[in-house]
A and B are shown apart, each in its own frame.
Chain A
């Protein structure tokens, strides 16, 4: 092969090389593309980035590196240079945060009013903690000691502290928080005197009398309705109650009639796994603001109920890797992509990094202010839990791309730094194709 006239090859400023235990990846921080590299090419590019000349690289490997360089040039990931140059990579981090701490950016505060719920969903039945089944985007129900429940005055204190921290949005969760009507009314009345940008309430949509709807409208509280199916019989199977689908449908129409904006969260389960598109279509007709998805995770003994296609959606699989912006990249490099910016307060006053991480109590509102939690850096452990801190993930070249649900991972591995729901083995550089095995 003819040697190029240029002596050096370097990745472009927007292309950031990340090495894994076996393979490597180039993150293009302008286009969002991630390019996977075999071990040999990874090492060649490390040499390039460290300033070695093409000649030196050929001498230590072979001239096949020229094919790699040409390919990378074609896809605008790198360029040839006559002289040794320095490439400043895109998006240096702000070093000043070390010297003068900037205020925490709190985007979402979860407040749990109660665990009351009128449904008996098969994955949420009774009053005991079940094997973990889904992420935080939707209703859930946790055991609560009635005597320890916060009073309205406690909640006012919490709201005031969240407001002082300039928390952007608030999410009221239950059980179904609308069931404790008086407390809910009093709470939203308080909330409006603060400066939260948006207020959401997670509800199963079963209890929406006119006065509640008027309240949602008046105080601009934005319901996110948890749905399970678009068929009455499946609804009965899932919720354990007759007629619930009709109640839901009526209530959704009441919201529409009263021009109350709402969103839908679909909890997909083994019962509905083959009719996702139909469910979307059905709820799309109601013109919700957004449709979100939650997936029920298999437990140890019911894996066979789930299809491989369904299982693929539950894990980090090759096709689930997102495109990555420069902001995402540096955020994931330094922080946990999900936990950062969130805090949750349970009905008993416990302060959690995530409403689903029930064992990770970092304080109680009766003893600590939310400000104490930040001042003592108790939340930093979670906000700064990047993939670089997780043993297996720190060996992975995709560690600054993939998302993370610590609540799910911890629930199944019993380890804050554990990882199960990923199909990639960074030590071998291989993606698993049998997704059921990953979930076992």
Chain B
């Protein structure tokens, strides 16, 4: 007798050695999947065990058939692997109670203050450059101290409630722009205000700033460092690459200014742990030069690990004509260069027993580890009525615009406010945003084979009135990307099972060490 339709909850991929694996999204497992297992999986949809054996017995040894059927059976039965299980998670509109309860445990992770919209630079890929649909343009709006105070008071009141549920949490205040250092006097006032108003939190309080680095001169970084502010500075690589993308209002490159400031800071505070470099690239980036620049100048590769962290990102490609300036040759050339770096990283990773910390580790290794973690890039528990994609529940972060409106994060455009400093979070707005998102983005997510990897969120789908995937085949591209990534990662792991910290790194690396 036939069985109901079964749909595979994952996909097959192949490594360089020619081995095939099945990624199972139900369990997050990756199973070795030779042809025999693949045939069993596909036949199982409509056939009994006897029929499967009859069909395959001429092709495979009975012993092998039995082995792989047993393997399939015990994983399918004991951990629901291989086929989508009936979807009981419905993407629906959450209730007010559900949102309030969720945020009381998981909300208010960060207060991000949009200190000013003004910026002294005109970076080519800036989200406010006019190259991105639906985002605001550069302007001179500044936050007032009164607005900042109201937002801070609200955030800390809510944070203290959350802290009672999760005492491990630390309050975090971030200064964001434009260029926040253009309103440095406000930053100082805020730090003084927070420290004096909430002295009981002084030991767990954290501050962060994202800056373009041009104004990060000695007295300013002295002040920031003396107040333990984590500093994120944008630097896109060597002079040519940085100046190509990060220019001032007159179109002049800013590399020399930023590097001078950074070097001063690093010389004066060589052990400051809270410095992170943000580095973007696009199809015209000579990624080899960027690699050499970072390794030689900032990561101190030759002298051992540096104290600084590096975060690399490709310039966003959704809702923008940014990449129209490049042609297919540019794309291919860049892809070839990336391919060569991946090859370099591959050859090193298959041999390396010791973790390194050079540019490739940040560019490629970090990404491999993230994939192996097999966790969506969201933090904390999920809301039952928001089961798909990696999007947050609005209110997890609080981004405050200059006029006191609240937004869910610094990345989303300004069309989806979730409250303001006078009234606090507007739960109804949050419910409406989630309902709209569920309706427009996730109607087909139940049968997605990469639910655990999905990078889609409000910020990268928000238009003026709703949510849209750009390009429309984004999900298919994401699935393809996952297949390629897993193929690359597993090709490394076949040669060096301990290559990555994530995944089963500790098993293959430390599992045998017994201190006798």
Contact surface of A with B, Cβ cutoff 8 Å:
12-14, 16-21, 30-31, 46, 49-51, 73, 76, 79, 81, 83-90, 92, 94-96, 99-104, 161, 164-166, 371-375, 394-395, 427
A18 CB contacts on chain B under 8 angstroms? 511
Separation of A161 and B516 alpha carbons in the complex (Å): 43
B165 CB contacts on chain A under 8 angstroms? 103, 164-166
Q: List 16 A–B pairs whose Cβ atoms lie within 8 Å, in order of A's numbering.
A: A12-B71, A18-B511, A19-B513, A21-B516, A76-B74, A83-B19, A84-B494, A88-B29, A90-B79, A92-B503, A92-B504, A99-B379, A101-B166, A104-B167, A373-B167, A394-B514
Q: Which residue of B lies closest to A161 (CB)?
A: B164
* Contact assessment for B75 and A30 in the assembled complex, using a CB-CB cutoff below 8 Å: yes
**In the complex, B109 has a CB within 8 A of chain A:** yes
* Contact assessment for B514 and A395 in the assembled complex, using a CB-CB cutoff below 8 Å: yes
Shortest distance from the beta carbon of A338 to any chain B beta carbon, whole Å: 21
Separation of A103 and B165 alpha carbons in the complex (Å): 7
* Contact assessment for A164 and B164 in the assembled complex, using a CB-CB cutoff below 8 Å: yes
Separation of A165 and B19 alpha carbons in the complex (Å): 48
**In the complex, B204 has a CB within 8 A of chain A:** yes
* Contact assessment for B504 and A88 in the assembled complex, using a CB-CB cutoff below 8 Å: yes
Q: Which residue of B lies closest to A88 (CB)?
A: B30
* Contact assessment for B373 and A13 in the assembled complex, using a CB-CB cutoff below 8 Å: no
Separation of A164 and B105 alpha carbons in the complex (Å): 10
**In the complex, B146 has a CB within 8 A of chain A:** no
Within 8 A of A (CB), among B471-516: 490, 493-495, 497, 502-504, 507-508, 511-516
* Contact assessment for A79 and B67 in the assembled complex, using a CB-CB cutoff below 8 Å: yes
B78 CB contacts on chain A under 8 angstroms? 30
Interface string of B47-86 (1 = CB under 8 A from A): 0000000000000000000010011001100110000000
* Contact assessment for B29 and A394 in the assembled complex, using a CB-CB cutoff below 8 Å: no
A101 CB contacts on chain B under 8 angstroms? 166, 168-169
* Contact assessment for B70 and A103 in the assembled complex, using a CB-CB cutoff below 8 Å: no
* Contact assessment for A49 and B167 in the assembled complex, using a CB-CB cutoff below 8 Å: no
Q: Which residue of A lies closest to B377 (CB)?
A: A96
Separation of A103 and B30 alpha carbons in the complex (Å): 29
Separation of A101 and B162 alpha carbons in the complex (Å): 12
Q: Which residue of A lies closest to B161 (CB)?
A: A164
Separation of A203 and B508 alpha carbons in the complex (Å): 49
* Contact assessment for B375 and A94 in the assembled complex, using a CB-CB cutoff below 8 Å: yes
- Among B71, B74, B493, which residue has its beta carbon within 8 angstroms of that of A86? B493
B163 CB contacts on chain A under 8 angstroms? 371, 375
A89 CB contacts on chain B under 8 angstroms? 504, 507
Q: Do A102 and B166 form a contact, CB below 8 Å, given A90-B29, A395-B514?
A: yes
Pick from B27, B166, B167, B495 the residue with the most CB of A within 10 Å: B167
* Contact assessment for A100 and B79 in the assembled complex, using a CB-CB cutoff below 8 Å: no
Shortest distance from the beta carbon of B498 to any chain A beta carbon, whole Å: 8
Pick from B70, B109, B166 the residue with the most CB of A within 10 Å: B166
* Contact assessment for B32 and A87 in the assembled complex, using a CB-CB cutoff below 8 Å: yes
Within 8 A of A (CB), among B140-165: 163-165
Chain B interface residue count, CB cutoff 8 Å, equals: 49
Separation of A263 and B425 alpha carbons in the complex (Å): 46
Q: Which residue of B lies closest to A99 (CB)?
A: B379
**In the complex, B18 has a CB within 8 A of chain A:** yes
**In the complex, B267 has a CB within 8 A of chain A:** no
Q: Which residue of B lies closest to A81 (CB)?
A: B32
A95 CB contacts on chain B under 8 angstroms? 373, 375, 502
**In the complex, B28 has a CB within 8 A of chain A:** yes
Q: Do A84 and B516 form a contact, CB below 8 Å, given A17-B511, A92-B503?
A: no
Shortest distance from the beta carbon of B472 to any chain A beta carbon, whole Å: 31
Shortest distance from the beta carbon of A384 to any chain B beta carbon, whole Å: 13
**In the complex, B374 has a CB within 8 A of chain A:** yes
**In the complex, B362 has a CB within 8 A of chain A:** no
Pick from B164, B494, B502 the residue with the most CB of A within 10 Å: B164
Separation of A161 and B164 alpha carbons in the complex (Å): 7
Q: Do A83 and B17 form a contact, CB below 8 Å, given A50-B497, A374-B168, A394-B514?
A: yes
Taking A96-B375, A102-B166, A166-B105 as given, write out 13 further A-B residue pairs in contact, using a Cβ cutoff of 8 Å, ordered by the A residue number.
A14-B74, A17-B511, A19-B511, A30-B75, A49-B508, A76-B74, A87-B32, A89-B504, A89-B507, A95-B502, A102-B381, A165-B167, A394-B514
- Among B67, B164, B381, B514, which residue has its beta carbon within 8 angstroms of that of A73? B67
Separation of A81 and B493 alpha carbons in the complex (Å): 16
Separation of A94 and B373 alpha carbons in the complex (Å): 7
A14 CB contacts on chain B under 8 angstroms? 74-75
B512 CB contacts on chain A under 8 angstroms? 19, 46
- Among B18, B167, B493, which residue has its beta carbon within 8 angstroms of that of A371? B167
B334 CB contacts on chain A under 8 angstroms? none
Pick from B31, B75, B511 the residue with the most CB of A within 10 Å: B511
A375 CB contacts on chain B under 8 angstroms? 163, 167-168, 204
Separation of A376 and B74 alpha carbons in the complex (Å): 44
* Contact assessment for B168 and A103 in the assembled complex, using a CB-CB cutoff below 8 Å: yes
* Contact assessment for A21 and B74 in the assembled complex, using a CB-CB cutoff below 8 Å: no
**In the complex, B219 has a CB within 8 A of chain A:** no
Separation of A17 and B506 alpha carbons in the complex (Å): 12
Within 8 A of A (CB), among B348-390: 372-375, 379-381
Shortest distance from the beta carbon of A39 to any chain B beta carbon, whole Å: 11
A21 CB contacts on chain B under 8 angstroms? 514, 516
* Contact assessment for B109 and A85 in the assembled complex, using a CB-CB cutoff below 8 Å: no
A87 CB contacts on chain B under 8 angstroms? 32
- Among B18, B166, B168, B374, which residue has its beta carbon within 8 angstroms of that of A92? B374
Q: Which residue of B lies closest to A372 (CB)?
A: B167
Pick from A19, A73, A85, A101 the residue with the most CB of B within 10 Å: A85
Pick from A20, A46, A166, A375 the residue with the most CB of B within 10 Å: A375
B79 CB contacts on chain A under 8 angstroms? 30, 90
Q: Which residue of A lies closest to B372 (CB)?
A: A92
* Contact assessment for B164 and A100 in the assembled complex, using a CB-CB cutoff below 8 Å: no
Separation of A94 and B379 alpha carbons in the complex (Å): 11
* Contact assessment for A49 and B515 in the assembled complex, using a CB-CB cutoff below 8 Å: no
B490 CB contacts on chain A under 8 angstroms? 86
Separation of A77 and B325 alpha carbons in the complex (Å): 56
Pick from A13, A49, A76, A427 the residue with the most CB of B within 10 Å: A13
Shortest distance from the beta carbon of A345 to any chain B beta carbon, whole Å: 16
